[in-house]
């Protein structure tokens, strides 16, 4: 089985690669070939028994998507995107990377199938940013997509393209709307949502973090481990159960910033809380105010997708996976 990961150098892409290498299979089929693509060179996977190829390319450049589609991978994970605040700040770049690249990949797969039969599974990572306020208490599977950011608009168009290309039989696609992934390892990025991870990750390592919003801000979260689980499950799911509705709200955990900090205190004590520096940022607060806060993802849960039930669980996963089982500082 040949698996292509587009966006393989990103955090979720790296963790997905590691999972596939550890398991050696996907949906009961042995993974014999991995193609890892990104705009920067993905790391060569260690311990993989099959063939692994890394590729540096930008799907928005002519011919890049066709080159990958010509490899005819059986499963394609499309994770590549620029983050919310960057897409909002740079309109042209956001549409080029988040929309034009996706359309180029989908169309390259279609063109490859016109040469001879080809129908791969395509798993696309969308976002809860496809929804805009005003929100109900819980967003159901029937809630309308009405994004209030360029990033959310780009992801919404991508979802529609995925559904249409799947309806026409060009590929077998499924879009998963990820919650905000928390706790993200590594250094802070340009995402407006980055502080949700920063206020836990840095104090747990004995470092200061900035909180730009109030403790009453509520948001929808899942761990990196859960995100990889979503991707694996989506790649192996019987998509006949989806019908024409190819995009799903993923399960997650609704929590306030205050509840995050309560969980931080349980693991790091007052010492960790004192490392939080409050610096209100009106721009970030405005962006976050337009994001969903809670979901009722009945379709995804019925289809077997799973996430964490508490922030204590999310912090435990971070400590296990990133801190060697110990709180630093």
Please check the confidence at residue 189 and state whether its pLDDT lies above 80.
no
Segment 251-275 shows an average pLDDT of 97
Q: Is the peptide bond before 134 cis (omega within 30 degrees of 0)?
A: yes
Q: What would the pLDDT profile of 10-57 be if each residue is shown by its tens digit?
A: 999 999 999 999 999 999 999 999 999 999 999 999 999 999 999 999
Q: Which residue would you say has higher pLDDT here, 329 or 72?
A: 72
Strand segments, DSSP code E, in 61-144 are: 75-78, 121-127
DSSP class per residue in 146-191: --SSHHHHHHHHHHHHHHHHHHTTS-EEEEEEEPEE-SPPSS--S-
Compute the distance between CA of residue 222 and CA of residue 227 in angstroms, rounded to an integer: 7
Segment 186-198 shows an average pLDDT of 85
Compute the distance between CA of residue 221 and CA of residue 301 in angstroms, rounded to an integer: 15
Are 155 and 130 within 8 A, CB to CB?
A: yes
Q: Tell me, what DSSP letter sits at residue 205?
A: T
Are 182 and 314 within 8 A, CB to CB?
A: yes
What pLDDT is attached to residue 191? 77
Are 120 and 110 within 8 A, CB to CB?
A: no
Segment 155-164 shows an average pLDDT of 98
Where exactly are the structural domains of the chain?
2-178+224-249
Instruction: Give me 284's structure tokens.
Output: 């970030």
Compute the distance between CA of residue 329 and CA of residue 327 in angstroms, rounded to an integer: 7
Compute the distance between CA of residue 230 and CA of residue 145 in angstroms, rounded to an integer: 21
For 2-178+224-249, CATH number out of 3.20.10.10, 3.40.50.720, 3.40.50.10420, 3.40.50.460 equals: 3.40.50.720
Q: Which residue would you say has higher pLDDT here, 287 or 256?
A: 256
What are the residues facing 51 on neighbouring strands?
Answer: 33
Segment 89-107 shows an average pLDDT of 96
Compute the distance between CA of residue 212 and CA of residue 221 in angstroms, rounded to an integer: 18
What pLDDT is attached to residue 325? 87
Total H helices, total E strands in the chain: 12, 14
Please check the confidence at residue 238 and state whether its pLDDT lies above 90.
yes
Question: Which residue from 45, 161, 169, 24 is spatially nearest to 103, judged by alpha carbons?
Answer: 161
Task: Indicate which residue of 95, 118, 151, 165 is catalytic.
Answer: 151
The structure tokens 């996706």 sit at 102
Q: What would the pLDDT profile of 282-325 be if each residue is shown by its tens digit?
A: 988 988 888 899 999 999 999 999 999 999 999 999 999 999 98
Known catalytic residue at 118: no
Q: Tell me, what DSSP letter sits at residue 237?
A: S
Q: What would the pLDDT profile of 80-96 be if each residue is shown by its tens digit?
A: 999 888 898 899 999 99
Please check the confidence at residue 206 and state whether its pLDDT lies above 90.
yes
Q: Please, which pLDDT band fits residue 328 given cuts at 50, 70 and 90?
A: low
Segment 184-205 shows an average pLDDT of 89
What pLDDT is attached to residue 264? 97
Q: Please, which pLDDT band fits residue 216 given cuts at 50, 70 and 90?
A: very high
Q: Please, which pLDDT band fits residue 112 given cuts at 50, 70 and 90?
A: very high
């Amino acid at each position: 089985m040949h698996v292509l990961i587009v966006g393989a150098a990103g955090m979720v892409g790296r963790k997905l690669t590691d999972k596939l290498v550890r398991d050696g299979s996907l949906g009961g089929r042995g993974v014999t070939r991995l193609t890892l693509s990104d705009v920067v060179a993905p790391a060569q996977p260690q311990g993989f028994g099959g063939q692994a190829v890394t590729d540096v390319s930008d799907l928005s450049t002519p011919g890049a998507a066709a080159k990958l589609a010509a490899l005819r991978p059986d499963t394609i994970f499309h994770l590549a995107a620029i983050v919310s605040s960057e897409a909002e700040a740079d309109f042209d770049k956001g549409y080029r990377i988040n929309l034009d690249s996706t359309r180029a990949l989908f169309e390259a797969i279609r063109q490859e199938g016109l040469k001879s039969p080809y129908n791969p599974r395509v798993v696309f990572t969308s976002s809860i940013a496809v929804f805009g306020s005003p929100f109900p208490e819980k967003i159901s599977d029937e809630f309308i997509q009405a994004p209030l950011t360029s990033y959310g608009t780009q992801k919404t168009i991508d979802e529609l393209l995925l559904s249409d290309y799947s309806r026409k039989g060009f590929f077998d696609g499924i879009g998963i709307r990820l919650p905000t992934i928390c706790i993200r390892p590594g250094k802070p990025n340009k995402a407006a949502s980055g502080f949700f991870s920063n206020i836990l990750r840095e104090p747990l390592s004995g470092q200061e973090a900035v909180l730009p919003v109030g403790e009453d801000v509520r948001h929808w979260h899942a761990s990196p481990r859960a995100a990889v689980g979503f991707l694996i499950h989506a790649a192996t799911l019987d998509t006949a159960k989806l019908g024409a509705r190819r995009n799903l709200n993923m399960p997650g955990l609704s929590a306030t910033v205050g509840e995050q900090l309560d969980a931080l205190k349980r693991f790091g004590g007052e010492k960790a809380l004192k490392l939080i520096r409050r610096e209100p940022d009106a721009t970030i607060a405005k962006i976050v105010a337009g994001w969903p806060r809670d979901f009722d993802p009945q379709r995804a849960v019925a289809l077997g997708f799973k996430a964490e039930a508490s922030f204590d669980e999310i912090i435990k996963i971070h400590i296990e996976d990133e801190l060697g089982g110990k709180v630093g500082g």
